[in-house]
Amino acid sequence: MQSDLTSRFPLPVAREEPEKGTPASLPSSPISADASDEVPFLRRVPFSSRRRRAVSESHISYLSSHPNLRRSFSREVGHAAAETYLLTRLTITLLRYLGLGYRWITRFLSLVCYATLLMPGFLQVGYYYFFSSQVRRSIIYGDQPRNRLDLYLPTDNSGSKPAVAFVTGGAWIIGYKAWGSLLGRRLAERGIIVACIDYRNFPQGTISDMVKDASEGISFVCNNISSYGGDPNRIYLMGQSAGAHIAACALMHQAIKECGENDTSWSVSQIKAYFGLSGGYNMLNLVDHFNRRGLYRSIFLSIMEGEQSLNHFSPEVIVTNMCDRFDFPPLPPIILYHGMDDCSIPSDASTAFAEALQSKGFQAKVVLFERKTHTDLFLQDPLRGGRDELLEDIVSVIHTGDAAALARDAVASPARRLVPEIILQLARKISPF
């Protein structure tokens, strides 16, 4: 069976890359607001020269005996600079590869304006990302470049918490783990651990590299989440946009492995449910659509490793073709969310995938949101604050069977607004997505 399986649907093999240095994990706990109780030089003192000299001596003495504290802030700034440099370098490499076509220039300018309008919210989320003690950044999960993930931990550390392995979007080109910081914050506030998995983007890697990286990140979560207060029996998989496609591919390819006798580091049975946000699951049906949207056919096929590989990286096709031929293992419940005004990936993509799953006896459903675009569900709605319908639905699924958690959810305070409504509406109009 295994020989027949791999001959018809060969698993992608990631290309070997030279080993690179692995940066050490950086501390993520800057001086806290109540540090004045422990740090002498932070106490309020009268403005006398004698007292100032005493404080200065105390300051120097304390920093001399606590070098890690003295360097913590500079390390945070250094980490932010390194992250910015990485993204800038990859962007320049990408632009050299793509050239400067008219569509790319106009969409890039739209993206700049869109990001500028939402900057008040991004700055607040960025401050949380870099300076919150509840965020563990850049945890290493593999030996390839960008094999890092961020963990968002609830403030209440009593008992084991459910965990979500999240794969961010970015058109397979600009994906980055920090894009999930707003979602990570919101779910952590509801008692759920979130692991945002980074992965190689194009042109640093192609789709097989991305799926391999995501699978290794999922494996890390399944095998190590208990060390961070997570419950290994309550692990969920989620992806958004291109990340939804990559996460679904990782899930399906893992199921293919389990059809045979391959040793695996994680199992499909460990995933309680899969959440797909605004994803595409049949690449054959999306090539021309992406070309019209500016992700040109030649570039997209380079990302997907050629037209002959589209079947292997289309979860809908895998489900349709594999289940009739092989003993496909049970899949977790699959819940797909999509905005009906999504122009980047039509909502039909989620509907068709759910129908394919249901036709093979798997549990799947689609939740459609009227008048919602590609970014409304993931960005504008969370930045708006108040009650987030998508978030509430995800939380209710994760907390099913946990009466105490459901009771806390019922009285949870609405999220604070981060961006004024008029700016959100303007950003929505000029969004390139």
Residue count (the chain): 433
The residues assigned a catalytic role are: 241, 342, 374
Cis, peptide link before residue 203, omega less than 30° from 0? yes
> What are the backbone dihedrals phi and psi of residue 51, each rounded to the nearest 5 degrees, phi first?
-65, -40
DSSP letter, residue 180: G
CA distances from 10 to 167, 254, 322, 399 (A): 24, 12, 12, 37
Contact 265, 223 (CB under 8 A): yes
Q: Identify the residue whose tokens are 């319908």.
A: 389
Closest CA to 100 of 108, 89, 112: 108
The residue type at 162 = P
DSSP-assigned states of every residue in 27-78: P-----TTGGGT-GGGS-----HHHHHHHHHHHHHHHHH-HHHHHHHHHHHH
Q: Are strands 135-140 and 148-152 parallel, antiparallel or unpaired?
A: antiparallel
When computed from its CA atoms, the radius of gyration of the chain, rounded to whole angstroms, is: 23
Sign of the C-alpha dihedral, residues 400, 236, 358, 368? Answer: positive
Element (H or E) spanning 102, and its range?
helix 102-117
Identify each DSSP E strand in 72-160 by its residue range: 135-140, 148-152
CA distance linking residue 98 with residue 104, whole number of Å = 9
CA–CA separation, 311 and 38 (whole Å): 60
Task: Classify residue 390 as exposed, middle or buried by CB count within 10 Å of its CB (0-12, 13-18, 19+).
Answer: buried
Contact 174, 244 (CB under 8 A): no
List C-alpha distances in Å: 135 to 28, 40, 151, 228, 428: 7, 27, 6, 11, 29
Token pair, residue 398, equals: 């994760």
C-alpha 422, offset from chain centre: 27
